[in-house]
Every structure is written in structure tokens, then in C-alpha cells.
């Protein structure tokens, strides 16, 4: 799964460095910019949401939130410009019964685990706060999520992460999802 946000492409560059064609699932957490740019993210499954800097046409076309499941792991996607705190993001994820909340807006790569995983892929074209231009590649197997932040220009892994959503029932000791 390819996860990206904040591309801000009015016209997509010829070589944007994103391995879209290698992934059957693509998630874009907003600020694509234009419908022409959105066409760069063609895949078997595209989950894209509108951002605050998208064109009016794109804002009408894309939803504010997307919810989907991959191998039993529940995802919610928002741009994040309306949720200012981690607590607001966590509450939103819990409202959608999501295991993972994908958000954008800040252009800053983020992976945190608390009540839910909050994932911000950063920006492959306009990074902020001294971070490299990044996107995320994810793999979901059963109830496990693994992946990492990838530098857009080199394709090199910047930071990896993984988590397991299987929990043990305290009364029986059995695993449950």
C-alpha cells in the first residue's frame, strides 16, 4: 500500500518518484491540488480525501473522510486540517472504529501508537521542519502492520515501523482481533 499526502501538484512532474504502479492500494490524504494530478494515482483501489488546498472541483469530487479495511485492519483517512490535536485525531479514529488514522496537512512525517495508530506520510514535494520529502509504504498481513517512511528522491527507507493489532483476552489468555 502506498500512502501519500500534500503533493500540491497543479501539473504532476514527469518524474515524481512515487511508485504508484507498484501498489494495488493507494491512499492520498489530501492536497492533491487538481483533478489532473489525481489521475497520477490510478490504482486498483484509490482512497483519496480532499484537502484545504485542493481546487474547488476536486473538493467537490473527493470526500472529507474515507474508511476502508485491508485484511481486517480498519483505516480512516482525513486531511487533518480540521483536527488540531492528537486527541481530536484519536477521537475521530475511534468514531470510525479505525485501527489506523491516516492524515496529512502538516507535511511532517509522523507515526504514533496510542489508542490508535496515527500516520502522516509527510509530503513528497513540500517537506517542512527540516524533514526529507517522504511517502509511506505499508504492508498489512493478518492483524500486523509494517512499513516505513521512504525518501521520495532516492527511494531509501528513512524510518521503519510495525505494530500488531492482535490483543490477548485478559480473562482467557486467547488472542482476539
What is the distance in angstroms between the CA of the first residue and the CA of the last residue of the chain? 21
What is the distance between the alpha carbons of residues 124 and 50, in angstroms, rounded to a whole number?
Answer: 17
46-86 pLDDT, tens per residue?
Answer: 999 999 999 999 999 999 999 999 998 999 999 987 667 77
- Find out whether 125 and 152 touch, Cβ atoms under 8 Å: yes
Q: What is the pLDDT of residue 11?
A: 75
**Which of 71-80, 87-96, 131-140 shows the lowest mean pLDDT across its residues?**
87-96
- Residue for cell digits 489532473? 36
For residue 171, the model assigns a pLDDT of: 46
pTM: 0.89
What structural domains does the chain harbor? 2-176 (3.60.21.10)
Residues 1-43: pLDDT tens digits? 999 999 998 777 677 779 999 999 999 999 998 899 899 888 8
Q: 43 or 45, which is more confident?
A: 45
Amino acid at each position: 500500500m502506498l500512502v501519500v499526502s500534500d503533493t500540491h501538484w497543479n501539473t504532476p512532474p514527469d518524474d515524481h518518484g512515487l511508485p504508484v504502479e507498484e501498489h494495488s492500494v493507494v491512499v492520498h490524504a489530501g492536497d492533491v491540488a487538481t483533478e489532473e494530478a489525481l489521475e497520477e494515482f490510478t490504482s486498483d483501489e484509490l482512497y483519496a480525501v480532499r484537502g484545504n488546498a485542493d481546487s474547488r472541483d476536486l473538493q467537490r469530487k473527493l470526500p472529507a473522510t474515507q474508511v476502508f479495511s485491508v485484511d481486517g485492519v480498519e483505516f480512516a483517512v482525513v486531511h487533518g486540517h480540521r483536527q488540531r490535536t492528537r486527541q481530536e485525531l484519536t477521537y475521530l479514529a475511534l468514531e470510525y472504529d479505525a485501527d489506523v488514522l491516516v492524515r496529512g496537512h502538516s507535511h511532517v512525517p509522523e507515526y504514533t501508537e496510542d489508542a490508535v495508530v496515527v500516520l502522516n506520510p509527510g509530503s513528497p514535494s513540500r517537506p517542512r521542519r527540516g524533514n526529507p520529502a517522504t511517502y509511506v509504504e505499508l504492508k498489512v498481513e493478518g492483524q500486523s502492520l509494517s512499513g516505513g517512511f521512504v525518501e521520495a528522491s532516492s527511494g531509501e527507507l528513512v524510518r521503519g515501523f510495525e505494530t500488531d493489532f492482535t490483543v490477548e483476552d485478559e480473562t482467557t489468555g486467547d488472542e482476539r482481533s
